[in-house]
Amino acid sequence: MTERRLSPLDKLLARADNALRTLTPGTIQAERSPAHASAAPDAPEAGSLPTDKRRHVLGLMRINHTGEVCAQALYQGQASTASLPHVRHAMEEAAREEEDHLAWCEERIQELGGVPSKLNPLFYAMSYAVGATAGLVGDRWSLGFVSETENQVVKHLEAHLFQVPESDLRTRAILEQMKSDELKHAVTAKDAGGADLPPPVRHAMTLMSKVMTFTTYRI
């Protein structure tokens, strides 16, 4: 069967639909469960963690949720400007896989008695613009951007796992599975021809990430 060619309007509506689904709580449902979920009990009662630890884990999961919002925007932005069809399809497929992470983080935030960051629309718009720009620069650089982004996310997740109590198996299962998936995406992008980004670009990405983590932990 011949694949239907989308008009510019179709593509615009698809991007808008993705943005609305990403930013509207409860609209994205996970297709998978974290690999280690069977070892974790059902969501604990809000009071099962000490108040200070629950508040801290909530802040960490809010950061991770916003990170997944940014990932959706980055991939959609890159897909909108990628020149090679296989790269565009790879970006769209990665965005679909990241939807599970988005749903897991949102669900865990709710279980801990919180809500997603109010800054998500701002970070979505910024990340979409960055992704679209990366796609315009060239597919090798776009793939390199994906690889570097995912590697930085893996480092964040490792740091968060170090801070989450060992008893919080539910949160740890989510973060472990996310880490595994992000590492796979980084390797896939690199193997597909992703270029090594110049140090100034990597430093700028790190700075933007620090701004995001500092603000969304609190807001």
Which string of DSSP letters, residue by residue, matches 16-66? HHHHHHHHSTT----SS--TTGGGSPSPPPGGGS-HHHHHHHHHHHHHHHH
Distance in angstroms (rounded) separating the CA atoms of residues 73 and 80: 10
Domain annotation covers residue 55: yes
**Which residue range is the domain that position 163 belongs to?**
11-19+49-216
Provide the sign of the torsion angle of the four alpha carbons 158, 174, 43, 22, taken in this order: positive
Spell out the per-residue pLDDT of the chain, length 219, in tens: 444 566 666 666 766 777 777 777 777 777 777 755 544 454 455 457 788 899 999 999 999 999 889 888 887 787 777 666 666 666 666 667 778 898 999 999 999 999 999 999 998 888 888 888 877 877 788 788 888 888 888 989 999 999 999 889 889 999 999 998 888 888 888 877 778 888 888 888 888 888 989 999 988
3-state SS class at 104: helix
Domain annotation covers residue 32: no
Domain annotation covers residue 29: no
Q: What CATH number does residue 91 fall under? A: 1.20.1260.10
Distance in angstroms (rounded) separating the CA atoms of residues 211 and 126: 12
- C-beta separation of 144 from 189 below 8 A: yes
Distance in angstroms (rounded) separating the CA atoms of residues 70 and 212: 10
Report the number of distinct structural domains present in the chain: 1
Amino acid at site 119? L
Domain annotation covers residue 15: yes
Model confidence over 88-147: pLDDT tens digits?
666 666 667 778 898 999 999 999 999 999 999 998 888 888 888 877 877 788 788 888
pLDDT, position 114:
92
Domain annotation covers residue 71: yes
Distance in angstroms (rounded) separating the CA atoms of residues 41 and 61: 18
pLDDT, position 1:
44
Domain annotation covers residue 122: yes
Domain annotation covers residue 43: no
Domain annotation covers residue 185: yes
Distance in angstroms (rounded) separating the CA atoms of residues 176 and 117: 22
